[in-house]
Structure 1
Amino acid sequence: MLKLTDFDYLLPKELIAQYPLEQRDSARLLVLNRAKSTIEHCVFKDIIDYFNKNDLLVLNNTKVLPSRLIGSRKTGGKVEILLLNRNKGFSFNALIRPSRVKINEKIIFNGNGISCEVSASNQVTFLVKDIAEIYALGKTPLPPYIKREPIDLDAIYYQTVYAKAQGSIASPTAGLHFSEELLKEIKAKGINLGYVTLHIGYSTFAPVKSEDITQHKMQKEVFSISSQTQELLEVAQLKKGRIIAVGTTSLRAIETFSQTGETQGTTDLFIYPGYNFKIADCLLTNFHLPRTTLFMLAAAFATDRLIKKAYQEAIEKKYRFYSYGDAMLII
């Protein structure tokens, strides 16, 4: 049995990055070579040295919505709402704090200008005419381990430079390290860039509660792979190039495609040790929280032994962890 406790590790809190670096590609990069069981350390912009002509980078071009809203109850009490997936009209599934907010209760935003009603458990419905009115109230939905309020810079740095398709409540953080200049250099070296879209939802953060991790169920997330990216995947395989997934979401999108042949729809693919990877040859990823599906995916790709070795070395060398932290390339 794959136990939840097998995916635990201790991280000093001071290593959790609270702010982004001014220069995206100045982050540190740990390179884990599975065949040689070796670890190297460099600066992220040097990642190009690990790519070869005819390799394909697969990047998730989802864009983070300003989905964190702060409102007030009629009593004056503060209410925080994280908008998840949209239902019909202006109704959303949502995480609402405090949980004692009652069904049919009205939440007021922006003075008395806009309001919503708690229409069901974990669901809110807005009284507006345009979706833009709702997101105009929102802030960047920083993850809870970033212990500060969002600032204007987060609206820039918590998006990848290639973000295009709106729909996520979290950033595909492995891609945050790429600057426009670095992407140009990568293309000039004969390395292709292919884009997929996977809108990151609450499933990414939902805690694994079952001690037997195989009993955990992922929530469905919307994904799509363009015909152009499908062609690039074929070309890379024909020319013996490597398919390098930039982030766990890109990997899950292309693995879903490889398994099912579906180029759009939803995926609830849960990858953990024992999974047989069909298409991804390398993985670029950030350092993830313990006991999460993200860490389990990384362990599946690198092996449990090597991923723990890499994390321990990253901790010893004081790498910055999580969303605004440093990166790891698994080759």
Structure 2
Amino acid sequence: MNDGPSMTTAGAPEGHRSGFVSFVGRPNAGKSTLTNALVGSKVVITSNKPQTTRTVVRGIVHRPDAQLILVDTPGLHRPRTLLGERLNDLVMTTWAEVDVVAVCFPANEKIGPGDTFIVNELAKVKRTTKIAIATKTDLATPEQIAEHLLAITELGRRTNTEWAEVIPVSSVSGDQIDLLADLLVSHLPEGPQLYPDGDLTDAPEEILVAELIREAALEGVRDELPHSIAVVVEEMGLREGRDESKPLLDIYASLYVERDSQKGIMIGHKGARLREVGKAARQQIEALLGTPVYLDLHIKIAKDWQRDPRQLRKLGF
């Protein structure tokens, strides 16, 4: 065995565990915030708008005894568009390939038909270990949390789903996050590191940048817009001819919406909204990449892109 660290043959101490965990749940169940809390760095965009996550972004937790790779899938929902169907297919494929599926149930909301739909779908995946997580416990009383845990157990019974663990956590306060990491690791197979030390995600930087721009664009827009925003990073590279001690990363990106009216909303009065989005996105990108950034954003219209296979391909779905 090669002693030098590489993708799959890094020397691992006896008993070292490594594997993949997928967080699932209906939209806005706290999956992305939980990924970020476990990794300890912002690798997944979060927003209080449903259907924020579209790409399978992996967060990587490095420990002396284990490497925990978190797969963040889109929220599973009854699809209304071709985009919706593709996102659901992505979720089902992911579940069959990971070691553990952890279902997130927000503690401040009752278990509903959406949760039942997901757990019923999950019941079809036989071999994968299943864990239930009560998220957002900082928003619920101890009595509500106790009731919620009973309801999760009952849902497992009703759907013939055997929960290997049921655990309440809060990503915001950090409550029980370390315990959750320990529980997830305990269900992984023994094996070497799968990613080099220091990697937090395997998503290309362009995808992370596009996601941060989309997150900034989602802040404070009206409800009709979130599903209709897609971001493509057209060009990204260090500006030539600059002193090495003063690098500047040029990023040219297009924000795609479906209609003229949405374009107007995104630009805002005299371009004020687009400037705000650019400023917020630039600060997040600089924090992530540690380099000063020049960000050039343009709004484009891709008519009804969520229903058009050709446009979906072009936008990366």
Same structural fold, with TM-score higher than 0.5 when normalized by the shorter chain: no
Q: Which has the higher strand share?
A: 1
TM-score range, shorter chain: under 0.3
Which one has more relative contact order, counting CA pairs under 8 Å at least 6 apart? 1
Q: Normalising to structure 1: TM-score of the pair?
A: 0.25
Q: Normalising to structure 2: TM-score of the pair?
A: 0.25
